[in-house]
A and B are shown apart, each in its own frame.
Chain A
Amino acid sequence: MKFSRKSAANLMHELSVAQALLDQIEIVAQARGALDVPAATIRVGPLSGVEPSLLRRAFEVARLARPTTARTELTLEIGEIVVSCASCGRNGSASPGDLRCQHCASVRTSMRTGDELLLLRIEMDIPAAGAAEMAN
């Protein structure tokens, strides 16, 4: 794992993303009437523009301002860069600064995955009338 340092101005970026993530979690949690959101899982692509460790730190600060998410544990899945090549027709992995085809070195590639910034799943505590029966 590479260690990278960003300027204070760029840290703001992860804070913006953390706020947006909390907004998305809240939308789902409120729609389901959740009291608490113990866990959330996201996927961060290497070309999403987000530094995972900084996003985690920003999230841990930003979540405190919101009652439903104050204790949410964040799990980050790191996405993989996959490009498909228009020259040789094959798919392959690539690195953020070099998206050429690993098979034929062509620059005629398009990215299949790698720039995603996705909320995948949420664990919620929901009050339910049928909860007692379901538990038994």
Chain B
Amino acid sequence: MCDKCGCGATATLDQPAEKASGKPATVVREQFEVVRGILDGNQRQAKHNREHFDMHGIVVINLMSSPGSGKTSLLEATIPRLRGKLRLAVIEGDLETENDARRIRAQGVPAIQITTGTACHLDASLVHDALHALDLDSIDLLFIENIGNLVCPASFGLGQHRNVTLLSVTEGDDKPAKYPVMFRTSDLVLLSKMDLLPHVPEFEPRRAEDALASIGVHVPLLRISTRTPASLDPWLQWLDHTLAEVRSQQATATTPRLVHGHAHDHLSG
């Protein structure tokens, strides 16, 4: 079961209730206006992850899509292009198997596999656990490959700097209208498997663009195919640009740096 969800919240439950030893004779029924985000526990943990990333100067990209849209293939095609320029690492989320992490490790890049069993998304505390298995001082760019799912991952921030959503041409071009929550979180949309487009006449890239605009998404949409290395150039340029952008923010950030030895009691503050 998904006992990890509501993550980080366990650490905030450390205000023990001062319950009376016996059942009190009198009880007051009280209406209490709260107004707090239901997913604040995850948001707090995500913010904490972000502090880890920024402290170590790591830029983090969260890759999301339906199952089979080509997230792992994109990483496999991207890694050789960045070899020698950036130190990479990957966190892989899947319901089962280590297969994706193996594919990344085969390219000489450290990969941590998170298997969630039946849970439909990665959350901030799962990612935090995975961070402990990585040498954060030797990473420039960290990809988090989220679980293939266009619904849940959108609601659970991980501390990433950017969200990238893949939409393959073998899916419908109306996917953005069907899954607006996911596509609205995107900083970049990649139209993947463009090499298959001639075989899928019902997919019109133009309609995908219109569907994105209709849900208020005005981010770049890049057409890629991992079979055509040149088609990845704009994606690599976007990565370059993003890296520069995030790093300059990290350099000028005035947020207090974390000082701790991973006891994590600071989450309660």
Contacts and interface: CB of A to CB of B under 8 A. Distances in A.
Interface of A: 6, 8-10, 12-13, 15-17, 19-24, 26-36, 38, 42, 47-50, 83, 96-100, 107-111, 115-128, 131-132, 134-135
A123 B31 contact: yes
Contact of A17 (B9, B155, B216): B155
15 contacts: A9-B118, A10-B120, A17-B39, A19-B3, A20-B5, A22-B6, A23-B13, A33-B18, A33-B19, A49-B152, A97-B177, A97-B178, A107-B214, A127-B24, A132-B26
For chain B, the bracket of interface size reads 35 or more
B27 interface: yes
Contact of A24 (B26, B40, B121, B216): B40
Contacts of A15: 1-2, 5
A50 B155 CA distance: 9
Interface string B88-124: 0000000100000000000000000000001111010
Contacts, number: 184
Given A16-B2, A16-B5, A99-B180, 17 more contacts: A13-B120, A13-B152, A19-B2, A22-B6, A23-B12, A33-B18, A100-B214, A117-B155, A118-B37, A119-B35, A122-B31, A122-B32, A126-B29, A127-B27, A128-B27, A131-B27, A132-B26
Interface of B: 1-3, 5-6, 9-10, 12-13, 15-20, 24-42, 95, 118-121, 123, 149, 151-152, 154-156, 177-178, 180-182, 184, 213-216, 218
A43 to B, nearest CB: 9
